[in-house]
A and B are shown apart, each in its own frame.
Chain A
Amino acid sequence: MPSAIWTLTDTYNRRSIATTAESPVVGVTSNTVPWELVRAAGFQPVLLSPRKTSTPLADRYMEGVFTARIKGIFDFLISEEAQELKAVIIPRTSEQEHKLYLYLREVMRQGLERPPLPILYNLLHARSHETESYGLDRTRELKAQLEQLSGRKIEPAALRAAVEEGNAAREAIRELLKMREGSLPKVSGAEALALIGAWYFMDRGEYATLAREALAELEARLPLTGPRLLIKGAPQDRPDFTAAVEAQGAIVVAEDDWWGSRAAGGDISLEPVGLKEDPLEAIFEKYYADAPSPRVFPAAIADEWFCRKATEVDGVVFYLPPDDDVLGWDYPRLRELLDERAIPHVMFRTACAEPIAEFLEILAHG
């Protein structure tokens, strides 16, 4: 029987969208689609993040300005492989996803391709009374769309069950994070990205069980040694950059990234009066106020987690790959903030061994 670590890592690597008659698969394109709502509608929500070395289908329609991840998703959605999906839900929490939705609609309209039904979830992340109220309405609308898709009403009991299932997985992830972040980390960053990232590709009840087993397996390990780093930058949908940093002797103990340290966040709380009866509002609040995205505004809120976490590590690595056109605006401000606190940092556009080693050398010599 394979170990829990192996199973989770394999799930992360395969990124399968296997479907069953009981639970048709609905694809989602990032962390800001309410998993609990899709689950409660009777679907298996799966994050779409295919690993593609080329995107010939997408290249017919998408300009070079799209990131490799978005192109990969589009390429997949207009391929035969995507026919298994009942629908794909795309949140409006990044401009590229908004465009992805429009491009899917357009290839359908022109009869050029037959992707699964695209659904736009109009969640906005600039914090204001108006966006909060609007987002809650759109979450209700998404619920209605899912009910129409499944042909059945989403009952509060189903929502509560999905919330509990999701929260159990979140708790397991938070335990895993403790094992990374302590003074004696027992799991590498690259390994952690896989162990955490698996939750996007599987049943979360099953994930929680496996993650707990994985924790027990990790517990038996000897602690890792090396400078403890935090990565800030482009979302890492694969562990290559982290692995390259760690190959030089560092341990990545956290990343400001929904693929890693920020995947779980806090639980969806059903405690306030009334939320147990109808958890929809609590679900919305989670994805509105406790889910990172490039459109979180103002910067003071978007940076909160990073500013706190940066004080707990030996150094910070900024990762701004060539297709970045967003986070580069944050870099000089955050660099200044780290300088004020005397926290060492470095910025890379690609994973080059030599400069990483040089930075670690600087850390080693204080």
Chain B
Amino acid sequence: MAEKQLQSSVRAAEFQKNWFAQLRKDVFEDGKPYAIVQADMPLELFQVLDVPVVSNQWWAALVSAKRLAPVYLDGLNAMGFHDGLCRYCSLSLASTIAGDPAQAPWGGLPKPALLAARLTCDCIQRVFELWAEKLGSIFVPLDVPGASELPPRWWELSRHRWSELLEAHRIDFMTAQLRSLIGVLEGISGNSFESERLRELMEGVNRQEEYFEEVRDLICTAPKTPVRMHEQMSNVMAAQWVRGSDWAIEHARQFRDEVKARAEAGIAACPGERLRLMWVGAGLWHDTDLYTAFEEQYGAVFVWSMYLAFGPDGYIRYGLEDPLRALASRTVSFNEQLHNPPWANEWIVDQAKRHRIDAALVLEPLGTRPSATGNRFIERALEQAGIPVLPIAADMVDSRGWDGAAMRARVGQFLESVLDSVS
């Protein structure tokens, strides 16, 4: 694994490990309820009702980084789940089925009080229903209607004019579902929902994302990126999972300060930076070293992924007179802006221009279909903007079939052609 250049990265890793250890202690020793949820769920509701959450995607990334995905997924396949099924969203289920706490990251997941998922695709209800049954917990789904009003430059509306961006009937529907979810969480936690507490938390989320926006701007304007992409990802996501909390806001501020200090001092993540790369798609969690593999030979530095960039554009909601409705507006459209046309292609090209991107690597997920859609439009739009694109066929968490050396050679060839064209 590449060195950590930022102190913030060290703090983020420590926080996550300690947070999870505390969670296990709270659950096992004090019987405190917690939830396993999809990453696109409104985590704020769980926070205000004091129900900690473990994100399915975070756990899957952890399992993958520990090189446990092949054995867990082989186990799932051996049970009769064929190998064409989604892996990113089911790896954590596979880890539960494997049921080996000695091998699992950090002792494994304790039994949650509930599981919850936004029905973003057709399979997630199945994965979570199976998982809930396996764990002996309940499953709460949030269904999602489709959008039919699609203003392309959504990020110009999402903060202040979210009620215009998203159709009122979609927001109303999601708000009604969130009320039902609140009822379930109140029953589990014994706490009462307070709208004011949600407003305060969402204001905290806004502050946190504003810090991330400053970091994003620093990356855009600094002559060379002061922070590597994989450190952006780890710092941002450590905060996003507990977003709006005191720790998350403070961490975002420290991260901003550290990146700002580096930028002002002219410290580059890669002093030999010649090419600025964009990674489109979820992280390649089983081989994050890929993100620094082209710095030395080509001066090619990954400067952009959705994880930092989406924070300010996707999460911030101003105008919190009705915080639940504001939260519903984010929940109903979450994920669509990253994978569906026109939102994904328009936003990614805008981001590429702002970040002075020279070339883009676009993940074509092998085993997570909803994440694979929208790619052709994204690739076309990038190429039309003069940005060369290399599609990367790989799974985010499953290293089976992944040939890291061959992929590095392929990316190297691509970068040589990019360097030829810019020189």
Q: Which chain A residues have a beta carbon within 8 Å of chain B's beta carbons?
A: 60-66, 92, 94-96, 98-99, 101-103, 105-106, 109, 120, 122, 124-126, 128, 130-131, 133-134, 137-138, 141, 294-295, 297-299, 320, 322-326, 328-333, 335, 347, 349
Contacts and interface: CB of A to CB of B under 8 A. Distances in A.
Nearest to B169: A137
A122 B145 contact: yes
Nearest to A334: B80
A39 to B, nearest CB: 23
25 contacts: A61-B377, A63-B373, A65-B369, A65-B372, A95-B120, A95-B121, A95-B369, A98-B146, A106-B341, A106-B377, A130-B143, A134-B169, A137-B169, A138-B169, A295-B119, A297-B143, A298-B129, A299-B126, A299-B129, A323-B84, A328-B84, A329-B85, A329-B126, A329-B127, A331-B81
Given A122-B146, A134-B145, A330 B80 contact: no
A330 B123 CA distance: 10
A92 B341 contact: no
B167 to A, nearest CB: 9
B370 interface: yes
A326 B126 contact: yes
A301 to B, nearest CB: 12
Most central of A95, A105, A294 by chain B CB within 10 Å: A95
B267 interface: no
A102 B340 contact: yes
Secondary structure at chain B's binding surface: helix, strand, loop or mixed? loop
Interface stretch (B173-181, B214-222, B246-254): B173-181
Contacts of A134: 145, 169, 173, 176
Interface in B56-84: 79-82, 84
B108 interface: no
A124 B143 contact: yes
B297 interface: no
Contacts of A122: 145-146, 148
B375 A63 contact: yes
B105 interface: no
A264 to B, nearest CB: 23
B122 A295 contact: yes
Given A295-B119, A326-B126, A349 B150 contact: no
Contacts, number: 126
Interface string B172-199: 0100110010000000000000000000
Interface string B310-331: 0000000000000000000000
A297 B177 CA distance: 15
B141 A126 contact: yes
Given A95-B121, A102-B341, A109-B152, A335 B177 contact: no
A232 to B, nearest CB: 14
B407 interface: no
A316 to B, nearest CB: 14
Interface centre among A92, A130, A349, by most chain B C-beta atoms within 10 angstroms, is: A130
Contacts of B373: 63, 65-66, 99
A92 B146 contact: yes
A326 B341 contact: no
Contacts of B147: 102
Contacts of A66: 373
Contact of B145 (A63, A92, A294, A299): A92
Contact of B84 (A94, A98, A299, A324): A324
B376 interface: yes
Nearest to A318: B80
A33 B375 CA distance: 28
Contacts of B237: none
B364 interface: yes
A63 B85 contact: no
Interface string B79-118: 1111011100000000000000000000000000000000
B376 A61 contact: yes
A26 to B, nearest CB: 17
Interface string B337-375: 000111001000000000000000000100001101101
4 closest A-B pairs by CB: A329-B126, A106-B341, A332-B80, A126-B143
A94 B122 CA distance: 6
Contacts of B126: 299, 326, 329-330
A61 B177 CA distance: 34
Nearest to B376: A61
